[in-house]
Structure 1
């Protein structure tokens, strides 16, 4: 381990290199541009390759080819660029090509701004391209957690042959902190992919060909593949769901938040506790699979208030929280949009207003 004082973009880039990433293909877009800028110099130092593609559309498709060539590979982008990658991501899901996408979200819709936000949730979690395919989506709250998550994301991608989306925002990517970076992985120790990689064809027999394709014929084969994906997503829910509970043991007010907002809400919980309010935080870390069972098993007989906090208007994770609660309690919402930041003081004020309004 090495300790450095660096910003989130560079920390995530270095974590990817340490995990064995040896190809990056991407395109500059604020606020993630420091990540490819850093990797353009760092990857050649470890025998890797950096490609500035013509566009984000091309970036995603380069990952498909690189993955089938056996490389651990990734791209990073922000909201509008992430949208352009939809077709490529859909093909990647259909071809089961492991790779990592880091989205440093920016406000939208459209071009939006460059502030902190939670406005890519619906796209990343529910709408990655045609056909209903899903990616593994995970969201860190701190730079140190982002380092661990990016480092592990390549293992998750290889384990399940899936794209992994690390969903972040400007608050995390542009903040500078002291972090511990993991050591470089030995490439010889990475998972064996020889059973599915594109290789030299040594015979003319049809059954010996190995191709990368997302269209399967006859139709029954395509259905079998959809069933296979559904089973994979069920495995994620059973084995890979991650979340954080903070001061929930006796909480009467439960706040739901993810990513950078989770860090903000954690501080709000501390302030509320000092003022005698029994508040707690439930922070989903994996957004798909979403910790719906864990949210559903909270002690609703004790909970008086449930509030979802996001830097998005209207709420996006709110829908999944409401589904997980299953009507046991009404879920209130507090959000800021367009790049306006949520602050701990605002959350504290909102909680107190809600409690006063209900007579608690």
Structure 2
């Protein structure tokens, strides 16, 4: 494909970016509203002499990803909400064995089979691990087709760098919309990061064939040994929290990551599709002389608690806009606790929808006015 801007669906941009990032093995199972990813990979992975398998189930798909990654492949899967739930045991196994992989979740309405309309109700599942045990996933939340491509491309590097599962958390609106996108360059498979930890690899320190080969496992039956492993992993998570935080703050004067000046009358907090809607509400407010800020977490984990805490320290209200009944808002409330001691602490409000209902710009702006008038 050309490096010129092309018109693509979000799902297609995710798939093409994954291939260009060096994805050598994809295992999936069709489910709306992400089926275009599987269809695109079925055609284009095989044309590039890479591995594509439509597994017999979501459980099979995630375990194929686990095995392929252990063998050295840059491996990926994708699904939508109930399908991702079936993958959670495999995600926990990957985290427990420090096996990198990329999972794309194009979220639909739930719980249960729910609807095929867009939602953001898998926030807790993604940011709190989702499966059993103590672990985290890096979670990237695109708000555009361009970011679908960019974040998927970056996800593979982050997974390899930290040996961690990385989730690209989109939704049915972003997955199905079409926009212009500049696709990233295609990498040579020869230039991908060295994986000297893969199964059967003979470490150089052995100096000869017949030495101890790498063995990958997540089972440690001695409690103290398992805890020690977890401690090492959480030290790596702390490094991720320092180095990989990403957010966008609009409507503020900033200096060295400090929020300065008078600032807005109210700050909207949203991610993904909801952030696009919040942008529209911000423009409506500007027409009436109301100053709104927009804080968009890009990494949902690690979450930018301290940065949002500095916004909350102004004492001006925060309105969380999300397509769930109140999941992101929990992290917004935790961010308020990060406000410097002695500062004002902002009130946190929620505008939430679920089941595939999408908030409108006008609805968000109407709620803003009620809050500023003291009626909400």
Shift of 1:228: 1.0
Q: CA separation in 2, counterparts of 1:233 and 1:297?
A: 23
TM normalised by structure 1 equals: 0.95
Between 325-334 and 115-124, the greater mean CA deviation after superposition: 325-334
Q: Distance in 2 between matches of 1:122 and 1:233?
A: 18
Q: Which residue in the other structure is 1:8 paired with?
A: 10
Matched, 1:289 2:302: yes
Deviations 1:215-241 (A, max 9, x none): 125332211111011111111110000
Q: Which residue of 2 aligns with 1:89?
A: 91
The partner residue of 1:336 within 336, 347, 353 is 353
Query: What is the distance in 2 between the residues matched to 1:65 and 1:339?
Result: 35
2:229 matched residue in structure 1: 225
Match of 1:212 among 216, 235, 239: 216
Tell me the secondary structure at the aligned position of residue 215 of structure 1: coil
CA distance in 1, matches of 2:265, 2:294: 11
Shift of 1:79: 0.3
Separation (CA, whole Å) in 1 of partners of 2:118 and 2:230: 36
- Give the one of 323, 333, 339 matched to 1:311: 323
User: TM-score when scaled to structure 2?
Assistant: 0.91
Structure 1 residues 322 and 208, CA gap change in structure 2 (3 angstroms): same
Q: Give SS of 2:319's match.
A: strand
Are the aligned partners of 2:312 and 2:318 in contact in 1 as well (CA < 8 Å)?
Answer: no
Counterpart in 2 of 1:103?
105
Q: 1:193 aligns with which of 192, 195, 208?
A: 195
Answer yes or no: is the 8 Å Cα contact 1:104–1:169 preserved in 2: yes
Mapped to 1, the partners of 2:359 and 2:94 lie a distance apart of: 35
Q: What displacement does 1:304 show?
A: 2.7
TM alignment of 1:57-136, pairs within 5 A? 57-136=59-138
Cα deviation digits, residues 186-241 of structure 1 (max 9, x gap):
111111112x1112679997x71322200125332211111011111111110000
Q: Map 1:117-266 onto structure 2 (within 5 A).
A: 117-194=119-196, 196-199=197-200, 208-249=212-253, 250-266=263-279
Q: Distance in 1 between matches of 2:97 and 2:49?
A: 27
Equivalent residues in 2 for 1:25-44, closer than 5 Å: 25-44=27-46
- The question of whether the paired residues in 1 share the 8 Å contact of 2:312 and 2:336 is answered with no
Name whichever of 91-100 and 263-272 sits farther off.
263-272
Does the CA-based 8 Å contact 2:127-2:301 persist in structure 1? yes
The one-character-per-residue Cα deviations of 1:142-167 (angstroms, maximum 9, x if unpaired) are 11011110001000000000010000
Q: Which residue of 1 aligns with 2:285?
A: 272
When the two chains are superposed, the root-mean-square deviation of aligned CA atoms in Å is: 1.7
Contact 2:22 2:189 (8 Å CA) reproduced: yes
Query: For 1:325, which of 336, 340, 360 is the aligned residue?
Result: 336
Give the SS at the match of 2:24.
strand
Instruction: For 1:74 and 1:189, locate their aligned partners in 2 and report how far apart those are by CA, in whole Å.
Output: 18
CA contact (8 A) 2:312 2:346 kept: no
- The answer to whether the Cα contact below 8 Å between 2:17 and 2:153 also exists between their aligned partners in 1 is yes
Helix, strand or coil at the partner of 2:275: helix
SS at match of 1:2: coil
The number of aligned residues is: 355
Q: CA deviation at 1:358?
A: 5.0
- How far apart, in 2, do the equivalents of 1:335 and 1:320 lie? 14
Unmatched runs of 5 consecutive residues or more in structure 1: none
Q: Secondary structure at the match of 2:318?
A: strand
After TM superposition, which residue ranges in structure 1, 4 or more long, deviate above 4 angstroms?
200-205
Distance 2:54 2:241 in 1: 35
Alignment deviations for residues 269-295 of structure 1 (CA, whole Å, 9 cap, x no partner): 121112111101000000110000111
What CA distance in whole angstroms lies between the structure 1 residues aligned with 2:219 and 2:24? 28
Q: CA deviation at 1:41?
A: 0.6
How far apart, in 1, do the equivalents of 2:106 and 2:248 lie? 21
